Amino acid sequence: MPDTSNPTTPGEELIKRIAVRVREARKSRGLPRRVLSEMSGVSPRYLAQLEAGEGNISVILLQRVAGALDLKIEALLAESTPLDRDAERIAQVFSNANPEVQQQVRMLLFAQSQTELRAGRICLIGLRGAGKSTLGKLAGDALGLPFVELNKEIEAASDMPIAEVMALYGQEGYRELEAEALARVNAKHDKMILAVAGGIVAEPTTYTRLLQRFHTIWVHTSPAEYMQRVRAQGDVRPMAGNPAAMTQLKNLLDTRTPLYERADAQINTSNRPVKTSLKDLLRIIEKRRFLDVLDG
Q: Is 1 within the bounds of a domain?
A: no
Residue 293 included in any domain? no
Q: What is the rounded CA–CA span in Å between residue 225 and residue 6?
A: 73
pLDDT of residue 164: 92
Residue 3 has pLDDT above 70, yes or no: no
**204 and 150 fall within a common domain:** yes
Higher-confidence residue of 29 and 10: namely 29
Average pLDDT for residues 86-94, to the nearest whole number?
69
Q: Which domain holds residue 86?
A: 10-96
CATH number of the domain that residue 128 is part of: 3.40.50.300
Evaluate whether 125 touches 218 at the Cβ level (below 8 Å). Answer: yes
* Residue 128 DSSP SS3: coil
- Per-residue pLDDT for 177 more than 80? yes
- Check whether residue 121 and residue 74 sit in a common domain: no
Give whole-number Cα distances, 216 to 122, 196, 268, 270, in Å: 6, 10, 14, 19
pLDDT band at 210 (very low <50, low <70, confident <90, very high): very high
User: Which distant-in-sequence residues (6+ apart) come within 8 Å of 187 by Cβ?
Assistant: 29, 31, 39, 68, 70
The answer to whether position 4 is within a domain reads no
Q: Looking at the structure, tell me whether residues 253 and 142 fall in a common domain.
A: yes
108: how many CB neighbours lie within 10 A of its CB? 9
pLDDT surpassing 50 at residue 68: yes
Q: What is the pLDDT of residues 140-165, one digit of tens each?
A: 999 999 999 999 999 999 899 998 99
Phi, psi at residue 214, to the nearest 5°?
-135, 145
Alpha-helix residue ranges (DSSP H) falling in the chain? 10-28, 33-40, 44-51, 59-68, 73-77, 82-96, 99-110, 114-118, 132-143, 150-158, 162-188, 204-213, 223-232, 245-260, 274-287
Residue 215 β-bridge partners: 122
User: CATH number, domain at 78?
Assistant: 1.10.260.40
Reported pTM? 0.61
Residue 123 confidence (pLDDT) above 60: yes
Say how many domains are in the chain: 2
> Does 279 lie in the same domain as 141?
yes
What average pLDDT does this structure show over 67-87?
A: 65
| Spatial CA neighbour of 209 closest among 72, 28, 36, 65 | 28
Phi, psi of 116 (to 5 degrees): -65, -40
Give 165's DSSP letter.
H
Q: Residue 125's closest CA among 186, 224, 210, 204?
A: 210
